[in-house]
């Protein structure tokens, strides 16, 4: 069994939505954004993006406006990768007017992701709700793209059917509460225990007074 008591350098969300990043950023003094933080990205799409080194990410021809009636607000969908952007574009029919700025932002975040994955320090990736097949695909994509990276992949779910193996750990987490704030104490306790070695070693810093993180914060 691989050691999980590593001095993690960074904790990075692999989605599938903003909620994962919200808990990480409230718990840890880590203020920079990463590429999957504020998008909705299913795990197989994340695996594909990493495997292809983001070559198909946020291409003009794949972007489309969605009214979002079912969720209460419009958003932009990347039909090539199946990733949704809810916070970056101007969410109206003229969203392409903001394309250059958004593309520049994500080029920067992608490069940051590459740099941290080649920095020579251990990384913890966190994802919610991936199945065994999806978790294995994420692990395989990361390992293929960054073969020298020391990392662990933590998948959290209400009732996981697979415990994980090797670099992957799948753990149950009790999602009590109907808001992110109400569910935060469960995440704080779970991740706080898992990351104790990293906090003690000073490679990560626990926030003394967790505060809400605004959507899209960089």
Q: Is residue 210 part of a domain?
A: no
Residues facing residue 65 across a β-bridge: 76
Look up the domain containing 107 and give its range: 10-201
CB of 81 within 8 A of CB of 48? yes
The share of the chain scoring above pLDDT 90, in percent, equals 74
Is the pLDDT assigned to residue 218 strictly greater than 50?
no
Alpha-carbon span 10 to 72, nearest angstrom: 34
Q: Is residue 2 part of a domain?
A: no
Looking at every residue in the chain, the average pLDDT score rounds to 91
The share of the chain scoring above pLDDT 70, in percent, equals 95
Q: Is the pTM of this model over 0.85?
A: yes
Closest alpha carbon to 46 in 10, 8, 21, 16: 16
Question: Can you give the pLDDT at residue 178?
Answer: 82
Give the mean pLDDT of 158-175.
Answer: 90
Structure tokens at 94: 């003229």
**pLDDT confidence bin for 217, thresholds 50/70/90:** very low
* Overall residue count recorded for the chain in this entry: 218
Question: Can you give the pLDDT at residue 211?
Answer: 57
Per-state percent for the chain, helix, strand, coil, to nearest 5: 35, 15, 45
CA distances from 152 to 6, 9, 12, 49 (A): 9, 12, 11, 19
Q: Is residue 211 part of a domain?
A: no
Q: Is residue 218 part of a domain?
A: no
For the chain, state the CA radius of gyration: 17
Question: Can you give the pLDDT at residue 160?
Answer: 86
Q: Is residue 1 part of a domain?
A: no
Give the mean pLDDT of 117-130.
Answer: 96
The total domain count for the chain is 1
Give the mean pLDDT of 68-93.
Answer: 89
CB of 62 within 8 A of CB of 79? yes
Structure tokens at 182: 């109400």
Q: Is residue 186 part of a domain?
A: yes
Alpha-carbon span 213 to 203, nearest angstrom: 21
Question: Can you give the pLDDT at residue 174?
Answer: 81
Alpha carbon dihedral 110, 193, 22, 54, in 10-degree steps, equals 20
Q: Is residue 151 part of a domain?
A: yes
Q: Is residue 173 part of a domain?
A: yes
């Amino acid at each position: 069994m691989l050691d999980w008591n590593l001095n993690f350098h960074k904790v990075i969300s692999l989605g599938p939505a903003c909620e994962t990043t919200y808990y990480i950023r409230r718990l840890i003094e880590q203020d920079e954004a990463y590429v999957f933080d504020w998008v909705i990205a299913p795990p197989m799409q994340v695996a594909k993006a990493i495997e292809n080194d983001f070559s198909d990410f946020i291409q003009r021809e794949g972007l489309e406006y969605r009214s979002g009636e079912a969720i209460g607000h419009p958003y932009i969908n990347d039909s090539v990768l199946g990733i949704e952007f809810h916070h970056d574009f101007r969410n109206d029919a003229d969203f392409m007017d903001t394309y250059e700025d958004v593309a520049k932002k994500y080029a920067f975040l992608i490069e940051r992701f590459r740099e941290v994955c080649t920095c020579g320090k251990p990384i913890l990736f966190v994802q919610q709700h991936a199945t065994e097949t999806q978790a294995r695909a994420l692990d395989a994509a990361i390992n293929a793209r960054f073969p020298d990276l020391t990392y662990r992949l933590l998948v959290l779910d209400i009732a996981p059917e697979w415990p994980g193996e090797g670099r992957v750990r799948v753990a149950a987490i009790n999602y009590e509460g109907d808001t992110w704030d109400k569910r935060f104490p469960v995440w704080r306790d779970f991740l706080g225990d898992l990351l104790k070695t990293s906090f003690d070693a000073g490679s990560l810093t626990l926030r003394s007074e967790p505060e809400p993180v605004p959507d899209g914060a960089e």
